[in-house]
Amino acid sequence: MKPKIHYTRPSISDLEVQYANDAAKNGWGENCYDYINRFEGLFKRYLGVKYAISTSSCTGALHMGMAALDIGQGDEVILADTNWIATAAPIVHLGAKPVFVDILEDSWCINPKLAEKAITENTKAIIATHIYGNLCDMGRLLAISKKYGIPVIEDSAEAIGSVYHGKRAGSMGAFGTFSFHGTKTITTGEGGMFVTNDENLYNKVLTLSNHGRVKGQSKQFWPETVGFKYKMSNIQAAVGCAQMERIEELVNRKREILNFYKQKLNKFDGVYLNPEPTGVINGAWMPTVIFNKSYDIGREELLQKYKNKNIDARVFFWPLSSLPFFEKVKNPNAYSISERAINLPSYHDMKEKDLLIVVGEIIDTIEKR
């Protein structure tokens, strides 16, 4: 069997090891928040936001953020049908209803027109997930937000490094969330971040994140409300600090890989990868290729070819409304695109020879049509 080409893997240098080592040895007692504070500081500076709270996952950050927006029983939250379950699960946990709308054909992100149409008197938020690093149409979504007084949440788990007309993904909505799972552009093993510019929302999430204990409360073990426990450890944050010091390098390599695939495939009409419209920078978390219907190239065929070569490619997200516990919704783009798309391997240390093997399978498939 040929050596496996993984679809993602983290880049861990001596710096991450050194910081993690230091945190494990010295990050206790009065030093137990040092790397956490530093990581949150680096993240705020990078994103250009006022407040950041590190969490155990992006899912946890979304859960607390939506709880802080008082989303609960009987409420509705609008999101794209093309999404990872992590974006919808906290809505369900809060007793609210996820309302799935279709995606745009070019960005694979939520269609703002359909999001606006889905608004009812029960709508409490719209989630803008910047899928695979592609940016949502934030101009339109923020205008809708203003018009109806409904907050836009940016799920930026896949969009570190993505920039929308000078503003970083995650910095534009009521709040933004990030993931540092081992498959993401920067990692802490597991982990996440909640970011906002809204002082009130920040304080609410800070209290929720500490089991309902208000910052500055002098009475010990005194929660004001029932909160959550979605915290990041100092050792994880140490790895995160090193990753943030290398963020430009890590994002640039992701972009380099996406551009490599694009260069090899853009000569074929009707074969598309992650778009980068004018005024936008794509953080390129996950290079994804989509074939026009006329090619009749499907997900299963490519998956099988890659499997034969020990290459780990992944399926485009299934429409969430196709999952057995949700109600099916007619969202033609979300359903059609997932049939004729595939995620390609991309990791920091990926060799050009492996990139050529991956792209070669696609070219071979196209040319045999």
* 293-298 contacts, C-beta under 8 A, 24 or more apart: 293/336, 293/340, 294/270, 295/270, 295/271, 295/340, 295/366, 295/369, 296/369, 297/340, 297/365, 297/366, 297/369, 298/339, 298/340
Residue 290's closest CA among 252, 338, 335? Answer: 338
Site for ligand PLP in 36-75 (CB under 6 A): 57-59
Q: Smallest distance, Å, CB 180 to ligand PLP? A: 7
Site for ligand PLP in 225-284 (CB under 6 A): none
- Location of structure tokens 């290729």: 289
Q: Which residue number, 82 or 207, has a Cβ lying nearer to ligand PLP?
A: 82
Site for ligand PLP in 172-191 (CB under 6 A): 179, 181
How far apart are alpha carbons 304 and 95 in whole angstroms? Answer: 40
Answer yes or no whether residue 157 interacts with ligand PLP by CB under 6 A: yes
- CA 71 → CA 131, 144, 149, distances in Å? 23, 19, 14
Which residues face 341 on adjacent strands?
A: 290
Q: Give the range of 150-158, 199-207, 215-223, 329-337 binding ligand PLP by CB under 6 A.
A: 150-158
Site for ligand PLP in 190-229 (CB under 6 A): 192
Site for ligand PLP in 72-101 (CB under 6 A): 84, 86-87
Q: Smallest distance, Å, CB 108 to ligand PLP? A: 12
- CA 63 → CA 5, 175, 207, distances in Å? 34, 12, 14
Residue of 129, 134, 171, 282 that binds ligand PLP (CB under 6 A): 129
Q: Smallest distance, Å, CB 175 to ligand PLP? A: 14
Residue of 116, 137, 154, 155 that binds ligand PLP (CB under 6 A): 155
Residues of this chain that bind ligand PLP (CB under 6 A): 57-59, 84, 86-87, 129, 155, 157-158, 179, 181, 192
